[in-house]
């Protein structure tokens, strides 16, 4: 089973598309430890999988002027969520949605609480190697171009999940997630410009932040990052098939951001 895939881009491109949440794959031995029925698991995966973001990223890479690099998680976020802080900085840990989820999106038990050995096994087997691979991908872009620009590609459900801590805000067509240390103004502005067709865009609501490997977080300012959170109903009646025209339209906008990041960074 493949845990994740790094898809090569142009050697001169500083851009890495990150696709952390598109997979529904849960290895058997991990499935067996989950405290849910198959029907509950299917429902959970429908709700929390960023369906078809792998296709959106792949098409954007195809049509961008300079092909970006892509790091895709090939396992479900139910295995580990590579984007969470692994420590007390993670506010979602309080609701069982830290790096190793212990609650479903609706708040029912997913794993035993306080099973520290099981958590450590998952962190050692999946979380830390993922972070190391991402760090290596970033290091390669810096080596080649002097910097790295991460575009973190997500989608989110129309109705809020129960675990969301900021569910009262608007749920726009696009939420742009920023980080105070790693999202320069030009990158946020480039995201607004690239996705201007969607009109309905907010910053950091209902989701905030964007991925940077912890090894470089707030220490390596050659690394820029911005998160793209697309409301899922724009391109699929999840869990149904994607609407191809919508996917192509969104991918073209994402390619515009990739091209802007390629030109403007440095």
Q: Shortest gap between Cβ of 228 and Zn ion (angstroms)? A: 10
Are the beta carbons of 10 and 60 closer than 8 angstroms?
Answer: no
How far, CA to CA in Å, does 173 sit from each of 45, 152, 176, 222, 259? 21, 16, 10, 30, 21
* Smaller CB separation from Zn ion, 154 or 182: 154
Q: Which stretch binds Zn ion (CB under 5 A): 101-109, 152-160, 171-179, 213-221?
A: 152-160
Residue 231 binds to Zn ion (criterion: CB under 5 A): no
Distance CA 211, CA 191 (A): 15
How many residues form the binding site for Zn ion (CB under 5 A)?
Answer: 3
Q: Shortest gap between Cβ of 21 and Zn ion (angstroms)? A: 4
Q: Crossing angle, helix 53-63 and helix 244-264, to 10 degrees?
A: 60
Q: Shortest gap between Cβ of 177 and Zn ion (angstroms)? A: 10
Q: Shortest gap between Cβ of 82 and Zn ion (angstroms)? A: 10
Of 72, 69, 97, the C-alpha closest to 22 is: 72
Spell out a b/e string for 5-43, using b for 16 or more CB atoms within 10 Å of the CB, else e: eebebbeebbbbbbbbbbbbbbeeebeeebebeeeebeb
Residue 21 binds to Zn ion (criterion: CB under 5 A): yes
Q: Which stretch binds Zn ion (CB under 5 A): 17-25, 36-44, 85-93, 246-254?
A: 17-25
Q: Shortest gap between Cβ of 49 and Zn ion (angstroms)? A: 9
Q: Shortest gap between Cβ of 142 and Zn ion (angstroms)? A: 25
Residue 154 binds to Zn ion (criterion: CB under 5 A): yes
Residue 141 binds to Zn ion (criterion: CB under 5 A): no
- Contact map string, positions 47 to 86, toward Zn ion, x by CB under 5 A: ---x------------------------------------
Which residue has tokens 């608007």?
170
Are the beta carbons of 45 and 238 closer than 8 angstroms?
Answer: no
Distance CA 180, CA 116 (A): 32
Binding site for Zn ion (CB under 5 A): 21, 50, 154
């Amino acid at each position: 089973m493949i845990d994740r895939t790094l898809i090569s881009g142009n050697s001169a491109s500083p851009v890495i598309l990150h696709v952390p949440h598109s997979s529904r794959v849960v290895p058997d031995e991990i499935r067996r430890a989950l405290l849910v029925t198959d029907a509950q698991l299917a429902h959970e995966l429908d709700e929390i999988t960023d369906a078809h973001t792998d296709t959106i990223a792949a098409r954007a890479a195809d049509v961008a002027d300079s092909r970006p690099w892509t790091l895709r998680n090939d396992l479900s976020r139910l295995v580990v969520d590579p984007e969470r802080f692994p420590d007390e900085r993670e506010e979602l840990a309080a609701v069982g949605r830290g790096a190793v989820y212990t609650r479903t999106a609706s708040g029912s038990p997913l794993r035993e609480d306080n099973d520290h050995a099981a958590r450590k096994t998952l962190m050692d087997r999946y979380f830390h190697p993922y972070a190391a691979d991402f760090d290596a991908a970033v290091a390669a872009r810096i080596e080649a171009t002097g910097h790295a620009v991460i575009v973190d590609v997500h989608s989110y459900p129309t109705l809020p999940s129960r675990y969301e801590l900021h569910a009262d805000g608007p749920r726009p067509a696009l939420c742009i997630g920023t980080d105070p240390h790693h999202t320069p103004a030009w990158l946020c502005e480039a995201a607004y410009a690239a996705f201007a067709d969607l009109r309905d865009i907010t910053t950091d609501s209902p989701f905030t932040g964007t991925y940077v490997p912890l090894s470089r977080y707030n220490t390596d300012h050659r690394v820029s990052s911005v998160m793209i959170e697309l409301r899922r109903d724009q391109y699929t009646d999840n869990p149904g098939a994607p609407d191809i025209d919508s996917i192509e339209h969104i991918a073209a906008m994402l390619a515009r951001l990739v091209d802007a990041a390629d030109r403007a960074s440095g």
